[in-house]
Each structure stands twice: as structure tokens, then as C-alpha cells.
Amino acid sequence: MPNLLKKQKIQLLIIISLALTLRLIGIASRPIWYDEAFSVLFSEKGLSDMLYGTLSQTASGSADIHPLGYYTLLWVWIKFFGQSIPVVRAFSIFINLASIFLVYQIARDLFNEKTALTAALLFAVLPFQVHFAQEIRMYSLLSFWLLLATFSFLRGRKGNWKWWILFTVSSALAQYTHNLAAIYLIPLAATPLIQKDWKTLKAVAVATIFSIFLYFPWLIQLPAQVEKVQAAYWVNSPGFEKIFTLLLFYLPHLPLPGALLLPGLLAASLTIALAFFQTITAKRNKLNSASKISWLAYLAFVPPLLLWVISQSIPVYIERALLPSHAIFCIWLAAAFMQVKAPRAIQLLVLVFLLTSSVAGFYQNVTYKGFPYGPYNALNKSIQNKIKEGDVIIHSNKLSYLPSFYFDQNIQQGFIIDPPNSTVDTLAPATREILKVNDIENITAGTENASRVWFIIYQQSIDEYTSKGYKNHPSLTYLDQHFKLESIETWDDLKVYLYKKE
């Protein structure tokens, strides 16, 4: 027995080491984007400024839509370790590695060691987890708290009330991390009702009441944040196409090159279809593990469905909020093929699908540099070497400005604010105030006294206008009318236009 336990620990350690290796690849070289730059620049301001930059009221609700749990912890992390890209990404990686241990524990509690190690391995290598383990956002932390709540739920229903305390606290902390934690917590809390486990239902009800009590200081702010989402949020109501994108996110991950989209979708669809077949087979054969496998499928796919339904009235469907359900998806896949016998040919086919999906998604994750990423640091240095007195640097919007601002806050550059009360007007005046950014009302105001204009814009922003029948982006049209075009540089998906006053 001691030798067996030692072997199991070594196997888990190898899986965690593999996960760490994959998550460290590209940690410094992978570009950051607007949301990541915002996380660092916002968190470094401290709790008082963050409260002001989030809860200040605007005509369309609160200034920002996220609670401050992640930003506060990142602020503490920055205080101790600094805010370079590898350092702040290490915070998410550390949390994600802790989640691997929870995935392992949940699977082992439900099934056995072999299934638990397989689930941990899937969690370690699937690109959806790798990508968000590196990202400087709150989704890795959200997944950790919800997995901890799931683990506490499983232990608590065995009769130990101390686990219900942990369930209460972790559920509240998940809500303080992201408002969409509820789309996972509701199906989890509904489990005893569906399973007609009345004793557990009573415990869950009491724990939920206390969890809401702990969350209440932020809960009273939620209506204003929901109002902000309804008035100014870039997400559209999802259609049935989200069924296919969900499959792609869960296995090969997105974005994928066009040539790989159909093979990736085929591999994901067949793998998941076979896993459902295995789940049905377990119920048909009345296996002891059948109800547990079905429950995992429920937690893997009901939260996406719930999020889709909610988004028909309040569009909030973002796949990264489904990271906790994807962790359960890893356990479900492992259980479906480890607990239910399948022909060797099927096992090999699934293994090939998982391997090719992981390799394709991971390669794309490491090499992708398109929208909304960009070589902002190199771009800053290039412009600095060429800038002259009387020049102005203007970004077409905040998406390219904020990452550039993160790398160098001393460069005199600004960005054109989003049309007020539009669906993209997400950076409120109070938030801009505490970030100390240089916001410009329009291209006319920004270039009024300029001798030369460096205008930075994503190709996608130009395409959005030309696809609607415009000859060009409105800011470029204005610059063409009032300045002479000197040069155009291409930096991945970014275009840098240099105009000179005639």
C-alpha cells in the first residue's frame, strides 16, 4: 500500500509538472490584449480607487461590471512580486495548478485513482485550460472557487458540516470573483432537488442562505452592474451557432485557422458524441457509476445552456466564463471512457481525437498574434525613435491604446473614446479617471494642432466599416481630407498610418 500511494503521488506530480511546462511556454512572448492590460493597470491602483472606478454611477449604470475579488488579490500579488507580464501571468498559472489538484480529488472521490489521474491529465493538456491559465484575468480564479465548492459539496453530503462551511465561503468568493458564477452554482445547488436527496437539499439551502449573506455587500450593487451590461456591453445575443463553438472551445479551443475548423469540429463532435454514448450505456447497464457520470455531464453542459438562455434577454454569453464547467467536462470524459468499457478501436479513436485537438489548439495558442493582440512594446519603441516635435499619437480606440499604455505610460499618446451609450462604451469616465489615460473626444479634437499624426488602428476596425458600405474608417477619411499620407506600416493585425500637415 505505501508503494502504491507513492506511485500515485509521483504520477500526479508528473501530470502537474506537465501542466506547468505547457503553461510556461510563451508566458513572456505571448502578446497581451486590452482586458489583460486593464487587469494590471486597474489592480495596481489599490482598493479605494478600484471601488471608485467600479461603483461610480453613469447614465447607463455602474462604471464597471465586474466585482473586485480577482483585482484585489492581483493587487496584493503585484505588491509582493511586481507587474511584469510573466509575473502577473504566474498568478493565474498558480491558481490553475491548484485547480488540477481539485479536479483530481473530485474524480477520485467519485470514482477511483485511475479515472482521477486521467481527468487531471486532460485538464493539464486541453488548450482551453492552458490558454486561460496564462491569461491575466479572473477566470482561472473563478474556476478554482467553483471547483472547491463542488468538492465541498461532495464531501458535505457525506455528513460533515465543516465542508458545508467551506461550500458557503467558496460559493461567496466565486461570486466576488465574477457575477456569472451563479450560472454554475445554480445547477450545482439544484443537484439534490433533481436527485431527490432531501437531506442534502436542506444543507444546501442553509449554506446558500449564508453564502448570499456573505455576498450581500456586493449583491446590492448588482442591479447597477446589470444595467450597465444591458446598456453598454459588446456581447450580442447568442444563436444556435454557439452549440458548435462550445464544442470547439471545449476540445481544440478557438481561434483555429480556417483549414482546421472543420476537422476540429468533427473531432470534437465525435469525441463528445461517443462520451454521451458511453454515459447512456452506463445507465442502460445500470452501472454503479452511471448516476455520477450523468451528474458530471449535467454540470458540464447545463451551465452553458443556462448562460445561453439568460443571454437571450441579457447578452452575457462569453465562453471563458464556462471554464469551471470545462473542468468538470474533463472529469466526465475520463469517467465516460474509464468507467464504461468500450472497444479498443473506439478508445484509440478518442485518444487520437484528443491528441490532435490538444496539439492543434496548443500550437495556435502559442503562435496566434492576430486581433486583439499586437506587438505593442515594439511598436512603442519604433514610434519613439521616429517621433518629432508637434507629432501626436492617436489610437482609434481603447483596444490598442491600453496595452500600449501598459508598456510605457510616459509616451504622449491617446485614444478616441467610444460613442457614448453605445454597446462598446465599456470604459466609463470614472474608470478612465483613475487609470489616468489620455482620452480624446474625436479625431478632430485630437489632431487640431498636430504637424504629424501617427494613427494606430486594427485592420478589423477598418473592415467593420467597409463591410457596411463605407469607403473607409471615418477617422481615416477625416485624416485623408486634412492631412497628407506619408506611410503605412503593418504590425501583425495593427496598421500604423503616418500623416503630415499640408
Q: Are 218 and 67 in contact (CB under 8 A)?
A: yes
The whole-angstrom separation of Cα 168 and Cα 375 is 43
Determine the pLDDT at residue 426: 85
The candidate with the shortest Cα–Cα distance to 495, out of 457, 444, 439, 447, is 457
Q: Let me know: does 494 contact 374? Beta carbons within 8 Å.
A: yes
Hey, what's the cell of 32? 497581451
CATH for 376-501, options being 3.40.50, 3.30.1330, 3.30.200, 3.30.70: 3.40.50
Beta bridge partners of 416: 440
- The phi-psi region of residue 470 (left if phi > 0; otherwise alpha if psi is between -120 and 50; otherwise beta) is beta
What are 391's strand-pairing partners?
A: 452
Distance of CA 52 to the CA centre of its chain: 24
Rounded CA separation 452/202 (Å): 69
Measured torsion, CA atoms of residues 89, 91, 97, 98, in degrees rounded to the nearest 10:
-160
For helices 161-177 and 139-156, angle between their N-to-C axes, nearest 10 degrees: 160
Considering only CA atoms, which of 113, 120, 151 is closest in space to residue 8? 113
pLDDT tens figures, 19-32:
999 999 989 888 89
Please state, in angstroms and rounded to a whole number, the distance separating the CA atoms of residues 150 and 171.
9
Distances (CA, A) of 310 to 149, 306, 316: 23, 6, 8
Per-residue pLDDT reduced to its tens digit, 259-282 = 888 999 999 999 999 999 999 999
Sign of CA dihedral 190, 212, 39, 95: negative
| Residue ranges of domains in the chain | 2-30+65-367, 376-501
Q: What is the pLDDT of residue 5?
A: 64
Ramachandran region, residue 46 (left: φ > 0; alpha: ψ -120 to 50; beta: rest): left
CB atoms within 10 A of CB 145: 27
> In the chain, what's the furthest Cα-to-Cα distance?
84
Query: Under a CB-based contact definition with an 8 Å cutoff, are residues 98 and 144 in contact?
Result: yes
What integer pLDDT is reported at residue 343 of this predicted model? 87
Q: Would you state the pLDDT for residue 431?
A: 93
The three-state DSSP-derived secondary structure of 243-259 is HHHHHHHHCCCCCCCHH
In three state form, how does the secondary structure of 263-299 look? HHHHHHHHHHHHHHHHHHHHHHCCCCCHHHHHHHHHH
Question: 300 is written with which cell numbers?
Answer: 458540464
Q: What would the grid cell of residue 50 be?
A: 478600484
Other C-beta atoms lying within 10 Å of the C-beta of residue 394: 23
| Other CB atoms within 10 A of residue 240 CB | 7
Mean pLDDT by 10 residues, the chain (502 residues): 69 95 92 94 95 87 89 96 95 97 96 96 96 96 98 93 96 97 97 93 95 95 85 82 94 88 92 96 92 97 96 92 97 96 89 92 89 93 92 95 93 90 83 94 92 95 91 94 94 95 84
